[in-house]
Structure 1
Amino acid sequence: MDTLNMRTGGEGEPAILFLHGLGATGAVWAHLTEAVPRRVLVPDLPGHGLSAPLPYYSFETLATAVARALPDRKPLVVAGHSLGGVLALELASGKYDVEVTGVLALGVKVEWSQDELGRAASFAARPPRVFETQADADQAYLKVSGLLGIAPTDPAGLRETEGGWRLAMDPAAFGVGVPDMTALLAAARCPVVLAAGEHDPMSRPEQLRALDPDAVTLAGLGHNAHVEDPSAIRALLERLGV
């Protein structure tokens, strides 16, 4: 199934495509999409929320699924968080028949240890865990998506199943791999803004500045800066003409 669950709204061009991170859903962008004077497109990525899983997860297969789900081929600004930031850069390469006029890549993890890769592969190989109660599943969703303490659970992020509740996320998505950020940045056919929260443990500002000296550090914010302070992200989008 190619069609993704897609939230849409607003008016004005170019539209903004918002792409969430691993484990979350498009709901993480809710406060920001209400504040931008543009048409907005907000999918649940494959294997997340109400969108169907993929047979195989890579940055290319995810970007292809997103491109196929777009309602038209009008120009877009793409804002992506973490995994979504990588996909935003993929879409900006020109390989997917999508005209991207600007990219905001927020909180992208660019350095991976062997231990981190091993843990990701282990998660990807496991069947979905079933929790006895919805409350337990809520907590698991918030931990996996990094939203514990800063946002409520999106009901679309859970599934009721035999024996209890599980996350809607397909565990196999953990096997997506490591992005070649140098190549992605070089291939982008539009302006790119890289940014990370000052206290983001996954995407250190100094790591981003090694890729782009103009990378932005968002003072006082963590990995989910778009949830913690949507106005800070709104200001970055203004750099891209939004």
Structure 2
Amino acid sequence: MGDVGLREAGRMTELRVLRGGEQRPLVLLLHGLGATADVWAGLTALLGDTSWAAPDLPGHGRSAPLDSYTFARVADSVAHLVDPGGTVVVGHSFGGVVGLHLADLPGVRAVVGLGIKVAWTDEELGRAATLAGKEAVVFPAREQAMARCLKVAGLDGLVSDLDAGVAETDGGWRLALDNRAFGVGEPGVAGLIAATGTPVVLARGEHDSMVSDAQLRGVARATCATVSLPGLGHNAHVEGPTALLSLLPTGQ
């Protein structure tokens, strides 16, 4: 496993990518808003020889920011990681929507979206837009920045540290997250699913308060299955990676 720096589209844009395994299909792992590739450690430890790649999405961790954010633009920035010889895309929350944008690329066999919030109110979208316009807070100590990072990513109490999630800056420490990423807007999950013929699994932890079983069923189509993972919450891939492993069509 290692970090890989990449140049994209003729410009200097670094994308931190963790990799492992050698056997196809590739499992492409896309984290949620505020997190980093490191949240997949529990799942990747279970993948054996299966090939996998996990980027820090743009504006997260040690990957460079974009000048503006849409789900489609974030998807474009990681599209080159898809293996045309066979890829299963697994995305959590924000990353799940990014994964749906990749569904029709050559080689994508299936998309598993975990904990995707599919129903948004105007008030929720307004709060997200407000967050997108805020300057990064600088904390005097790394521990304070890390506490905020884990809270934003919904990982408080699940992991003790997310090293790439904070960065040292003038005067202290800040979250590595580019706040402008909050401004991606309404994800349009139903439309994305309706537009693809690629098999999709929409999964949620049984105790995930961000999305309900009924909401997932409401956006599902003929090629889309919905699954509830017993005993788990929004970050089910961290809480119970074995349950998520069982949803992957990789032969594991």
Question: TM-score band (shorter)?
Answer: over 0.9
1:207 to 210, 215, 234: 215
Q: Secondary structure of the equivalent of 2:23? A: coil
Alpha carbons 1:132, 1:165 under 8 Å: kept: yes
Q: Residue 9 of structure 2 corresponds to which residue in structure 1?
A: none
Structure 2 residue runs without a partner (length 5+): 1-11
Choose from 134, 144, 157 the match for 2:142. Answer: 134
Tell whether the 8 Å contact from 1:3 to 1:65 is kept in structure 2 after alignment: no
Counterpart-to-counterpart distance in 2, 1:219 and 1:19: 22
- Give 1:93 deviation, angstroms: 2.8
Paired position in structure 2 for 1:192: 200
CA change 1:13–1:167 in 2 (3 A) is same
| Structure 1 unaligned spans of 5+ | none
The equivalent of 2:55 in structure 1 is 43
> Secondary structure, in 3 states, of the residue corresponding to 1:14?
strand
Query: Does structure 2 conserve the Cα–Cα contact (< 8 Å) formed by 1:141 and 1:153?
Result: no
8 Å Cα contact 1:194/1:215 also seen in 2: yes
2:247 aligned counterpart, secondary structure:
helix
Aligned match of 2:94: 83
Correspondence for 2:7:
none
Look up the match of 2:3: none
Structure 2 CA distance, aligned partners of 1:85 and 1:118? 21
Answer whether contact 2:93 2:117 (CA < 8 A) is retained: yes
Q: Percent identity?
A: 51
SS at match of 2:246: helix
Please, what is the CA RMSD of the aligned residues? 1.5
Number of residues paired by the alignment?
A: 237
- Asked whether the 8 Å contact 2:114–2:204 carries over to 1, the reply is yes
What residue number does 1:229 align with?
Answer: 240
1:21·1:145 contact (CA, 8 Å) conserved in 2?
yes
Q: After the TM superposition, which of the residue ranges 70-79 and 39-48 deviates more from structure 2?
A: 70-79
In the alignment, which residue of structure 2 is the partner of 1:162?
170
The offset of 1:67, in angstroms, is: 1.1
Counterpart amino acid of residue 177 in structure 1: G
Matched, 1:58 2:93: no
TM-score by length of 2: 0.90
Cα separation, 1, equivalents of 2:38 and 2:85: 23
Confirm whether residue 11 of structure 1 aligns to residue 43 of structure 2. Answer: no
Q: TM-score, normalising length from structure 1?
A: 0.93
